[in-house]
Structure 1
Amino acid sequence: MSWEAGADLLVIGTGVAGLTAAVRARELGLRVLVVSKDSASAGNTGWAQGGIAVVRPDEADPGDDLRRHVEDTVIAGAGLCSRPAVQEILAGGAAAIARLRAAGARFDVGADGALARTREGGHSAFRVIHAGGDATGAEVQRALVDAVRGGGIPVLEQHCVVELLRGDSGAVVGALALDGENRPGVLHAPAVLLATGGLGQLYAATTNPEVSTADGVALALRAGASVADLEFVQFHPTVLYTPGGPRGRRPLITEAVRGEGAVLVDVRGRRVMAGEHPLADLAPRDVVSAAINRRAAETGAEHVFLDATGIGARFAERFPTVYAACQAAGIDPVRDPIPVASAAHYSCGGVVSTVDGRTAVTGLYAAGEVACTGLHGANRLASNSLLEGLVVGQRAAEAVAKDLGCGLLSRRACGDPVQPALAVVDRDLLQRTMSRHVGIGRDERGLAQAARTLDQAAVVRRLETRQAVEDASLALTAQALIAAARQRAESRGCHRRTDYPDTDDLHWRRSTVLRLDASGWLVHTAAGIARTAA
């Protein structure tokens, strides 16, 4: 190996969950090392527009409380949320926001000096706080990066983790990584936190940045952990559509625009959400995305419109990021409806973990979008994700400190690992295949074809570059997602099977769980994780 480094806690990823964990672990006296494929500011967090859903008792709508937030989350999750997980994570929200503000995060305030609140899809009250109008993620990221740098926490930028390393007992003891020049090195640590974000780059059109290549899911699977609910990929209903069809990372039109009164209309001017759901344009995202796709198909168009002209001249001040994106595309949202389409946005499933970030593999923790705690179920409630990262990120750091203090983790150093050779698939082919067959509408025929296409296109390559590492992660995660989608013979939340259009609570009110067996094959667990929240 060309180089090596060590710490008590290795954090992989620089989004809200990873940086929150890093800051808290440092406060607890741990030696922390953060690894980022790009810069410390890269990742999904900085792109989040809408805000953070949280009930703060001192500033809340009349009648709104934690119980209502829990109920809204469980309803959106379509029967697959873990109510205890929802309760614990959301209960930590107010304290998490207080800590974030103490670290320097600045949120928008109203004329009375209280934090400004908006409402988004699936919420029964105005409880979503925001920053910079529609730049909440950017402000959260700025504050946390400043806290990391102010705390003297080292960040290895332009470093890509290839594989997690395990000792003789199976416990994680570090990671194999590549630096910016593709030189291999070893990162020694008795605790590794996966905070790698999402898997949007599985699809041709996504709101996710280029770094969101499902690395954490693949690393966890190969380390012996289980993943759950990968079939539940949330497609954001409204990304900016431009001629030629959506491709690559698309500008997001935050749900808060609909929260301020915008409505969806088709190319003929008819309301899209009329009669679709009691909340109409503020229905949960899976409902809105499906309705948009149906209406687009009915009219022969590739998009619908978001009519925000009723917001008027204050649009530019309230939504400066969206306004700038529209202006760049030659659209004036004050006067013209905005052409929008759906795109892959958020993974509701991920690495099976507790609300404290622990996985079934000793020394391996997960937090944020890469994790599956039971909070999101079959469909994430809008703006619960940043809150989850803040709460679970802190809890994971505290769990690591406790586990280290109890002697549960292995400090045995790992020897020189061998760079693995794994299956990769041409990325453009993979993305086109996933978008065509594993998008919002799925059926057995298309899913089987997707699996065959990826199998036939796979070639084995040694993971000696960042691109090879990412392509291997995408290939493995795509097959796992397809396997989960084929197994779930029903429609629920984000998972829509055209050949099984109904929800089947009798057989499928449980999570689908996958792991790799000793031969490297994906296998389903016998029973999955039963969900009893209603």
Structure 2
Amino acid sequence: MIHKFDFLVIGGGIAGMSYALSVAKSGKGKVALVCKTSLEEANTAKAQGGVAAVTNLAVDNFEKHINDTMVAGDYISDLSAVKHVVCNAPDAIRSLVGWGVNFDKNKDGNYDLHREGGHSDFRILHHADDTGFEIQRGLMEAVRNDSNITVFENHYAVEIITQHHLGVQVTRRTPDIECYGAYILDPETGKVDTFLSKVTLMATGGVGAVYAMTSNPVIATGDGIAMVYRAKGTVKDMEFVQFHPTVLYNPAETHPAFLITEAMRGYGGVLRLPDGKEFMQKYDKRLSLAPRDIVARAIDHEMKIHGLNHVCLDVTHKDAEETRRHFPHIYEKCLSIGIDITRDYIPVCPSAHYMCGGIKVDLNAESSIHRLYAVGECSCTGLHGGNRLASNSLIEAVVYAKSAAEHSLRVIDGYDYNTDIPEWNDEGTMTNEEHVLITQSVKEVGEIMSNYVGIVRSDLRLKRAWDRLDLLYEETEDLFKRVKATKDICELRNMINVGYLITRQAIERKESRGLHYTVDYPKHAYDRKQ
């Protein structure tokens, strides 16, 4: 089946929905919003902490936020991208509120601002400790009430369509690659449909599921990044995987692990060993409020030298009622496994959390492939550099979604559908009855990435990961050619592609910088020259 839409949006989180709402109101055409599960299951809904924006000009300013972002990113961040996000953040907040999103306010009617690790001021807007859920709720309601947006839930993007599908040889040196839409799997029919579009936006989220333990849901398999890489688009900074320092240590839940928000440390939480001793003073003068990469490596080191499977976060010294009011969901979750956070330490450990790299885009969110934009965690805007500053991701998604909308609306009249695109051909393939091969390979990817491409790396570990992933790649591509496309095998292909990109770009960076730490090159490249 062939579908035609002016705008094709792949991904149903804050990035995809913000863009869909922005272009839909223009009246310039119809929008298809494709998401692999339901809108409710997007990764956005899992974000607890909040949204960073300068709203209290009496004490805060853009320069402070810009500097905090550059410091956290280890000065790899693109300054133009940082300024673009920080200076447009207040307007993005107004857009979210206009779409029906609520943020907590204090008794004076002003935003109740939190402070998180790496921030020099209180600038985090939030909704209790479920900000992402509230944003997702507000945007979902707005999207479903917009007659110009058609939502395709439980549909899976298999590949984006380029000249390659017309028989043209496309390489990484081809200067004019164009995107004409995507092949989308409809699980109900088992058929791969052709979605033709004038403009396509990739908003498929992160890659956390390629690791054995992650705060991300199982759907975070790096689909958009892998599809664009296979289409010869530019992918950048994949070595910078952010490990959240504090997820709830609960062996029964690893996919996703329950996140203990950064805001809890901003609130006054103190990291301790299980015997009560503090340890962050050994690693950073900012103690428990140091940026995530420093805190995650500190916890990882303490766990290794003491033979622990977790450390602890302590808020028992804070007012119990205030703690329950600020963090109701964390309180209830911990209580469900026998931990009263007002009296007991919270067992925590690091977990794969956020991808700072991805599909390289410019200030208009346009990728190296014409007519293809990328927004949100699957994109690499340059904002995060070597490490993401807490709560910068959600605001980045809205700012760049608006930039992508403005740019695509200016140019869409010059595009038309490419009606020469052939439909997906799966003749001669058989139904996949070897599901055990896929599930075992998924498990192997997680183990390879966690064991060899984790918080601390080495040349030997990375080489071992490369070799293991290469074998899995050959096996999976052979299987993919012989069976009908299913969500499971497509996700596995994407996970292997993403694992390969993380590993390869980690090998290429011969220094420790930001989130990439290797025992073979423990210093910055510029430090070694001095």
User: Shared topology, TM-score over 0.5?
Assistant: yes
User: Structure 1 CA distance, aligned partners of 2:231 and 2:494?
Assistant: 13
**1:38-82 deviations in Å (ceiling 9; x for gaps):** 0022221000000000002xx34x431011000000000002100
Letter of the structure 2 residue corresponding to residue 427 of structure 1: V
User: Structure 1 CA distance, aligned partners of 2:86 and 2:4?
Assistant: 34
8 Å CA contact 2:472, 2:496 repeated in 1: no
1:461 equivalent in alignment to 2:459: no
**1:255-295 deviations in Å (ceiling 9; x for gaps):** 10011101000123211211422211111000000000111
More strand by share: 1
| Residues 356 and 506 (structure 1), Cα distance of their counterparts in 2 relative to 1, 3 Å cut | farther
1:146 equivalent in alignment to 2:141: yes
Letter of the structure 2 residue corresponding to residue 143 of structure 1: G
User: Structure 1 CA distance, aligned partners of 2:15 and 2:9?
Assistant: 10
8 Å CA contact 1:89, 1:355 repeated in 2: no
User: Structure 1 CA distance, aligned partners of 2:418 and 2:272?
Assistant: 60
* CA-CA distance at 1:10 after TM superposition: 0.4
Letter of the structure 1 residue corresponding to residue 447 of structure 2: R
User: Structure 2 CA distance, aligned partners of 1:430 and 1:78?
Assistant: 29
What TM-score do the two structures reach when normalised by structure 1? 0.90
User: Structure 2 CA distance, aligned partners of 1:177 and 1:253?
Assistant: 35
Counterpart for residue 226 of structure 1: 234
Counterpart for residue 177 of structure 2: 170
* CA-CA distance at 1:311 after TM superposition: 2.2
Counterpart for residue 460 of structure 2: 445
Counterpart for residue 123 of structure 1: 119
* CA-CA distance at 1:410 after TM superposition: 4.6
What secondary structure, in the 3-state scheme, does the structure 1 residue paired with 2:201 have?
strand
Counterpart for residue 359 of structure 1: 367
| Residues 506 and 28 (structure 1), Cα distance of their counterparts in 2 relative to 1, 3 Å cut | farther
Letter of the structure 1 residue corresponding to residue 31 of structure 2: V
User: Structure 1 CA distance, aligned partners of 2:443 and 2:279?
Assistant: 32
Letter of the structure 1 residue corresponding to residue 316 of structure 2: T
Taking the TM superposition and a 5 Å limit, the aligned residue runs for 1:29-428 are: 29=27, 30-56=29-55, 59-60=56-57, 62-131=58-127, 133-152=128-147, 153-167=149-163, 170-181=177-188, 182-243=190-251, 247-313=254-320, 314-405=322-413, 407=414, 409-413=415-419, 414-418=421-425, 426-428=441-443
Counterpart for residue 171 of structure 2: none
- Picking from 13, 19, 22, the partner of 1:21 is 19
Letter of the structure 2 residue corresponding to residue 111 of structure 1: K
8 Å CA contact 1:363, 1:410 repeated in 2: no
8 Å CA contact 2:193, 2:424 repeated in 1: no
Counterpart for residue 511 of structure 1: none
User: Structure 1 CA distance, aligned partners of 2:295 and 2:231?
Assistant: 37
User: Structure 1 CA distance, aligned partners of 2:457 and 2:344?
Assistant: 33
Count the aligned residue pairs: 498
Instruction: Show structure 2 runs of 5+ residues with no match.
Output: 167-175, 430-436
Letter of the structure 2 residue corresponding to residue 401 of structure 1: L
8 Å CA contact 2:240, 2:386 repeated in 1: yes
* CA-CA distance at 1:356 after TM superposition: 1.5
What secondary structure, in the 3-state scheme, does the structure 1 residue paired with 2:108 have?
coil
Q: More deviation in 282-291 or 181-190? A: 181-190
Letter of the structure 2 residue corresponding to residue 477 of structure 1: V
8 Å CA contact 1:177, 1:186 repeated in 2: yes
8 Å CA contact 1:47, 1:137 repeated in 2: yes
Instruction: Show structure 1 runs of 5+ residues with no match.
Output: 509-534
User: Structure 1 CA distance, aligned partners of 2:135 and 2:119?
Assistant: 22
User: Structure 1 CA distance, aligned partners of 2:275 and 2:15?
Assistant: 43
* CA-CA distance at 1:419 after TM superposition: 5.2
Counterpart for residue 435 of structure 1: 450
8 Å CA contact 1:355, 1:373 repeated in 2: yes
* CA-CA distance at 1:361 after TM superposition: 0.7
What secondary structure, in the 3-state scheme, does the structure 1 residue paired with 2:362 have?
coil
8 Å CA contact 1:172, 1:410 repeated in 2: no
* CA-CA distance at 1:507 after TM superposition: 9.3
User: Structure 1 CA distance, aligned partners of 2:338 and 2:416?
Assistant: 57
What secondary structure, in the 3-state scheme, does the structure 2 residue paired with 1:435 have?
helix
8 Å CA contact 2:293, 2:514 repeated in 1: yes
Instruction: Give the percent of matched residue pairs that are identical in Structure 1 and Structure 2.
Output: 38
Counterpart for residue 169 of structure 2: none
Letter of the structure 2 residue corresponding to residue 285 of structure 1: R
Counterpart for residue 7 of structure 1: 5
* CA-CA distance at 1:377 after TM superposition: 0.2
**1:282-319 deviations in Å (ceiling 9; x for gaps):** 11000000000111111110110000112232212111
- Picking from 500, 504, 511, the partner of 2:521 is 500
What TM-score do the two structures reach when normalised by structure 2? 0.91
User: Structure 2 CA distance, aligned partners of 1:117 and 1:339?
Assistant: 26
8 Å CA contact 2:36, 2:153 repeated in 1: yes
